[in-house]
Amino acid sequence: NAGVTQTPKFQVLKTGQSMTLQCAQDMNHEYMSWYRQDPGMGLRLIHYSVGAGITDQGEVPNGYNVSRSTTEDFPLRLLSAAPSQTSVYFCASSRDRSSYEQYFGPGTRLTVT
């Protein structure tokens, strides 16, 4: 199993550009989530999904969209990038909503200039 994979590893965007961060898992996990990590802030939940076709907002959803058309994939879209979205983004998955052991991807480091 590859586990949780994320692409790209690094990305530089200009203010106003859009892009999609990709996340995929091959463990047939129902629950997937996106976090952003900023220095001194820990990880903050952006969006999550409890299964295909179901998504919900986390703590910091503004400026981000998600969709979940398959169990495997959970892309995160930045509609109009802003410097405040410069961060490291982590995708995670777990077997279901109550299993709690979340498996994290390696992260995407995004810089918005």
Q: Which residues bind another protein (CB under 8 A)?
A: 4, 31, 33, 35, 40-45, 48, 50, 58, 90, 92, 94, 96-102, 104-107
Of 35 and 81, CB closest to another protein: 35
Min CB(86)–another protein separation in Å:
17
Look up residue 9 and give its DSSP letter: S
Of 17 and 75, CB closest to another protein: 75
Q: Give the pairing of strands 10-13 and 108-112.
A: parallel
